[in-house]
Amino acid sequence: EGETREEGAPMLPVPETRPWYRSLPWATRGDVDAFFAVFSNNLANMLVGTSILSGLGQEIIYGRIIPGIAVSMVVGNAWYQVQAMVKAGRTGRTDLCAQPFGISTPGLFAFCNTVILPVLVKTNNPELAWKVGVLGNFVQ
């Protein structure tokens, strides 16, 4: 207590470092509630988005869009979890959590109505509209 740096600023104690994969508890109070809140929000957004894009056809919606959403949710949430665990391991903090990853509601409406649907209406080509949507996701 009271150790100082040369500049006079107090030194913070060096946190105990642990391997990143053991840096946070796996389940804490509120985790179940948070899971269902994020899950239900993303499910509702996915249902709304697929109904907006129903003109693309079932093969594109159920064969490409929904599987793509599923993969991105798993990968995105796992990535954010690893980031939180790495930071907790480096800092010694255990009060961190992963930021929830999901579908942005305003972004969903904007993207569907200003990128995908105009291409579908103008060309009447669901395959092209889907490809423009995929390209737009990489560009944004």
User: For 11, which DSSP code?
Assistant: P
pLDDT of residue 72: 92
pLDDT at 95 > cutoff 90: no
**Which residues touch 24 (CB under 8 Å, ≥6 apart)?**
84, 85, 88, 94, 96, 97
Q: What angle do CA 98, 100, 103 make, to 5 degrees?
A: 155
- pLDDT at residue 18 in the model: 63
Cβ-Cβ contacts under 8 Å for 15 (sequence gap 6 or more): 91, 92, 93
At 3 the pLDDT is 47
Percent share of the chain, pLDDT over 70: 86
Banded model confidence at residue 2, pLDDT cuts 50, 70, 90: very low
Question: What residues have CB less than 8 Å from 3, skipping those under 6 apart?
Answer: 10, 11
Cα gap 104→91, rounded to integer Å: 30
CA 104 to chain CA centroid, nearest Å = 9
Give the residue-averaged pLDDT of 53-76.
Answer: 94
Which of 1-10, 72-81, 127-136 bottoms out in mean pLDDT, i.e. has the lowest?
1-10
Residues 6+ apart with CB under 8 A from 58: none
The pLDDT of residue 99: 77
Q: Which of 14-23, 29-38, 103-112 has the highest mean pLDDT?
A: 103-112
d(CA 13, CA 28): 26
Q: 8 pLDDT band (50/70/90 cuts)?
A: low
Cβ(37)–Cβ(97) below 8 Å = no
Is residue 88's pLDDT more than 80?
yes
Residue 82 has pLDDT above 80, yes or no: yes
